[in-house]
Amino acid sequence: MRSIVNILGAAVLLLRSVYALDNGVGRLPVLGYNTWNAYQCNIDEDLLLSTASLLKSLGLQDAGYNQLNIDDCYAEKNRSAGGDIIADAVRFKGGMKSLTDQIHALGFKTGIYSDSGWYTCAGYPGSYQNELRDLKTFSDWGFDYLKYDNCAIPYDEITREGIVGRYQRMADAVVQVQQSTKNNPILLSLCEWGWSQVWLWGKQFGQSWRTTGDIAPEWNSLANIINFNSFLTQATDFYGRNDLDMLQLGNGNLTFDESKSHFTAWALMKSPLLIGTNLSEITNETLSILKNNEILAINQDPTVGASISPFRWGINPDWTSNSSFPAQYWSGPTQDGTVFMLLNTLDKPSTLFFNLTESPWIRAGRQYSVRDLWTHTENGTAVRNFTAYDVPAHGVVALLLKDVGDEPDGIYPQCSVWWQCTDKNGTRVGG
């Protein structure tokens, strides 16, 4: 009997993957807005509609931010007599279906929140043992996306399974509802915090998965998240990716340079980009970061779904990791060339130098045009190496390098990494 259950479960997961591949749903990272970090439980339908209007009027929808998500606290504290989740009758007096219809009419997709335990993290009804019922409710309400959290876990003697099993229950519900409605499947975003190595199994169930605890609007939190995820970049690709948590631009104590680093790292690591800022207070500086179309284009690259990865891991002499000072030198392929992120993790300005072929995506013996993705300028040609001078404390440089042909003749030594090279007669080259 157990083997039959396993086979059926595998078939359900395969079916869900097939639906995703057929229609492209969930192929690229989500760009949008989430209510939690700015408002927590202080939400209602008026706030959601005003936020949608601001996303449009501020030009964020045109930049690609087309997802508007309600987080925790939208429900009544108790289910209905029939066992259904009920939207708060005061704060969502028009009903969720009316709200999602209005949001959709403005050109947005919209998301909702629940939990794999008895209760949500704020103490509202969770979905454990009600997965199919709740997913049908969310679908009937018109939602396109579900953030699925990990609080209030039932006792082991009740679940008799680990966290994978609890998320499997909701993933199966997604497939069953999709089959019955014939609509696109609701995207499932796992808010699991990484305690059970979710990056190893999350792609079976969700479009994204949280890898760390909650973000805080300060540099130490950003550095910790960047450092942790620098070891997990291979888990991200089309249809599934590490989620570094919401964007905190304009919140807390982040400087302008730290905000640029925050956005660059999240975007180039192909994390979902969900704004967590009060849009009514957003500054033009923050908007200029969020609407950097060259950075966003790499996050939304239709050809390459993989994250950038480090080619040096820290500030120690042998480039080994130091969690307070994450990797500074990153690169990855794009449809238009090789992207580099140079991240100054020090508390003072720093000059960052590297040999081009330290990146596995660069060919030896070639020269590369250099595009600065923040100044939006062409910065000459790089041959063998590149130097970024005076990068601000906690600042970033983002570059797109394109192959423009063979490097000039007569460069000595014959190799940029000269101590690795040997003439065909066996003698060392350069020195």
Active site residues: 149, 214
Decide the pairing of beta strands 337-343 and 385-391. Answer: unpaired
- As given in the structure block, the two tokens for residue 260 are 């640029």
Nearest to 83, CA basis, from 148, 132, 145:
132
Nearest to 399, CA basis, from 363, 371, 366:
371
- As given in the structure block, the two tokens for residue 135 are 């997913």
- Please tell me the distance from the alpha carbon of residue 126 to that of residue 149, in angstroms, as a whole number: 9
- Please tell me the distance from the alpha carbon of residue 142 to that of residue 137, in angstroms, as a whole number: 9
Nearest to 391, CA basis, from 323, 340, 324, 345:
345
- Give 318-369 as a DSSP string: T----TTS---EEEEEETTEEEEEEE--SSS-EEEEEEGGGSTTS-TTEEEE
Number of H helices, E strands in the chain: 11, 16
Residue 291, Cβ neighbours under 10 Å: how many? 16
Contact status, residue 104 vs residue 142, Cβ threshold 8 Å: yes
- Please tell me the distance from the alpha carbon of residue 174 to that of residue 424, in angstroms, as a whole number: 61
Output the CA–CA distances (angstroms, integers) from residue 313 to 91, 200, 230, 327, 397, in the order listed.
48, 21, 8, 4, 17
- Please tell me the distance from the alpha carbon of residue 109 to that of residue 120, in angstroms, as a whole number: 23
